[in-house]
Structure 1
Amino acid sequence: MSEKRKVSFLGLGVMGGAIARHIGKAGHELTVYNRSPGRLDKWLAANTGVAARVASSPAEAAEGADMVITCVGNDDDVADVVLGPQGVFRALRRGGVFADHTTVSARIARQIAVEARDLQVHCIDAPMTGSQIGAEKGTLTLMCGGRPDAIDMARPVMEAYSARIVHVGKAGAGQTAKMANQICIAGIVSSLAEAVRFAQASHLDMGKVYEAISGGAAQSWQMDNRWATMSRDEFDFGLAIDWMRKDLGLVMEEGRGLGVSLPVTALVDQFFADVQALGGGREDTSAIIRRLPRKGRK
């Protein structure tokens, strides 16, 4: 790292907590903030080797920072921590960098970019893919919307926790790219669930089936990382169905605005709703298989 930056990170959830740790370990001067004190305390206890200042508000976190990064829950959460009375934009200096890793609507991303421009703040919407595993390993892919100079300024920090940083286009483009990503994931994990149940009903050796089909055109990240756990009905990890349904709601809203038909996405969203009704809203998206009962030949 050629230059140490003053970086503030807001939102210490499953993804954000791992990202903040990578930033601190990379040698940047780290400040952290989380709206839930319990989660903040848990992060501090688990990261005693990471030097971090604790802020009491988003505005306090932004004071004196070179870069502020958020990773919270939804549009309302982002609007509150960035644009609210105690928000980041109340204190972030001119020429500072703001990057949001939350998966939100392109609309709020564009709104924040306009506010940032008026404040002379560099702004990036940078949703991510790579799952909890990628966050822990520091190998995330970031889909960035914003001006090229903003991406360049943020890159030395973002390289601490990502393997790929892609400048997709102008403000909001990162979010719409993430929507395309979620469309793909939803369709793939749904068909993967059917393949797993089909193989189980045929009394096939699940390990052998994976070995046979994962080296060809059927291969996917979902297959490599979820085939075995789906076969064992294990779902206590990864992207929760509740969050995926939030993302797919954003997808379908944007699709309506674009005049794009998304029939498969809408159908899979209802499959996820079925699993929510079974009590699986906090389980990984691969729990979509729960709506398919095990069957087999006598």
Structure 2
Amino acid sequence: MTVAQQTNPRSYPDATPRKVAFLGLGVMGWPMAGHLALAGHTVTVFNRTAAKAQAWAQAFAATGRAHHASTPREAAQGADIVLMCVGNDDDVRSVVLGPDGALAGMQSGSILIDHTTASAQLARELYATAQQQGVAFVDAPVSGGQAGAQNGQLTIMCGGDEAAFATAEPVMACFGRAVTLMGPSGSGQLTKMVNQICIAGLVQGLSEAVAFGQKAGLDMDKALQVIGKGAAQSWQLDNRGSTMVRDEFNFGFAVDWMRKDLGLVLQEAQRNGARLPVTALVDQFYADVQAQGGGRWDTSSLIARLR
């Protein structure tokens, strides 16, 4: 596997070279870690499937800064900054806590950054736990999908202390086009929830529009081009409208992941009293898509239940 297959090199910000660790090499983590190595940072990676960590180190060996470790603790030892991008709250806990977890290997004054889309409550818990051993914690979920990770163009929403953010921001900028501190611990995850609420409504509306236009006999590629020049324009329309017309769903952000994210949103809404009737409905529509066997389809597959 070559660097170009998973990571598209770009111009990187000038920053002090750091010793970093990256935990989790999925479709997002692999290129994110790659950008760090290409930008001049020394990177040690960990992945639960050890062969994947070894493959990453081989793919980026030409940088002279790519290494792999057998445990999160080993990867984190001596690192200035430890970053991770895994699946859910339980996955985060498994790589951070315990005798082989990242915190066990981190030194006082280092920074732990979580790019996983997880709960705000977990972010607050890890912030407090990290503080006890002099480690800063920043929750930093991302938006932009696999393409954003590969191109180093992610939007990163952060929660934590200003000092830790100021140190970590130039490192995150290696794979982010916009890196913003939203407030105290948990604020990054809450902002990502706002993002997912917006996307859920937009994709459902676009699905209904495309299905309606096709039933009406319109040339939907042409119709989307027209309305995309007006008030209906959105990223979803520009990037998913035409593929929805052709029932192409084998790319992008999977339905299973979206349902996990919307579950976090609805749990937080129960806690804070927010009313989310449309989000709850769209979550159930995604459950219908899962029942059709579309759990790994792109989120734009909402239109499949309207056929």
Q: What TM-score, normalized by structure 2, do the two folds share?
A: 0.93
Deviations 1:104-162 (A, max 9, x none): 00111000000111111111000011111111111111000000011101012111110
Indicate whether 1:40 and 2:83 are aligned: no
Once residues 25 and 260 of structure 1 are traced to their aligned partners in structure 2, the CA distance between those partners, rounded to angstroms, is 43
Deviation string for 1:44-70 (max 9, x for gaps)?
A: 465454441111000000101010001
Structure 1 residues 263 and 28: alpha-carbon distance in aligned structure 2, compared to 1, 3 A threshold: same
SS at match of 2:28: helix
The match for 1:12 among 25, 43, 47 is 25
C-alpha RMSD of matched pairs (Å): 1.2
1:199 aligns with 2:213: yes
1:66-105 → structure 2 map (5 Å cutoff): 66-105=80-119
Alignment partner of 1:108 is 2:128: no
Q: Quick one: structure 1 residues 112 and 289, their matched pair in 2 at CA, closer, same or farther if it must change by over 3 Å?
A: same
Q: Distance in 2 between matches of 1:179 and 1:86?
A: 30
Q: Contact 2:50–2:70 at 8 Å: present in 1 too? A: no
Checking the alignment, whether the CA contact within 8 Å between 2:60 and 2:66 is kept in structure 1 is no
User: Match of 1:89, as an amino acid?
Assistant: L
Contact kept, 8 Å, 1:71 with 1:101, in 2: the verdict is: yes
Aligned to 1:184: 198
- Name the SS of the counterpart of 1:103 in structure 2: coil
Q: Partners in 2 of 1:46 and 1:263 — Cα distance?
A: 46
SS of 1:123's partner is strand
* Aligned residue-pair number: 293
Match of 1:296 in 2: none
Find the residue that maps to 1:168 and give its secondary structure.
strand
Please report how far the alpha carbon of residue 215 of structure 1 lies from its aligned counterpart in structure 2 after TM superposition. 1.6
Deviations 1:200-244 (A, max 9, x none): 122222221121101211111111110111111111111110010
Q: Answer with 254-263 or 29-38: which moved more.
A: 29-38
CA distance in 2, matches of 1:269, 1:258: 19
Q: Secondary structure at the match of 2:155?
A: strand
Counterparts of 2:62 and 2:275, CA distance in 1: 49
Q: Report sequence identity in percent.
A: 54
Alignment partner of 1:139 out of 153, 158, 168: 153
In the TM superposition, what whole-angstrom CA distance separates every residue of 1:238-275 from its partner, at most 9, and x where no partner exists? 11100100111100000000011111010000000000
| Counterpart among 293, 298, 301 of residue 279 in structure 1 | 293
Give the 3 Å change call, closer, same or farther, for CA 203–187 of structure 1 in structure 2: same
| Amino acid aligned to 1:257 | R
Which amino acid in structure 2 is aligned with residue 147 of structure 1?
D
Name which of structure 1's ranges 80-89 and 32-41 shifts more when overlaid on structure 2: 32-41
- Partner of 1:98, secondary structure, is strand
2:134 pairs, out of 98, 107, 120, with 120
Whichever residue aligns with residue 140 of structure 1, its letter is L
- Unaligned 5+ segments in structure 1 are 294-298
Query: Conserved in 2, the CA contact under 8 Å of 1:129 and 1:141?
Result: yes
**Per the alignment, in what secondary structure is the counterpart of residue 14 of structure 1?**
coil
Task: Tell me what 1:26 maps to.
Answer: 39
| TM-score relative to the length of structure 1 | 0.95
- Distance change (3 Å), C-alpha of 1:6 and 1:238: same
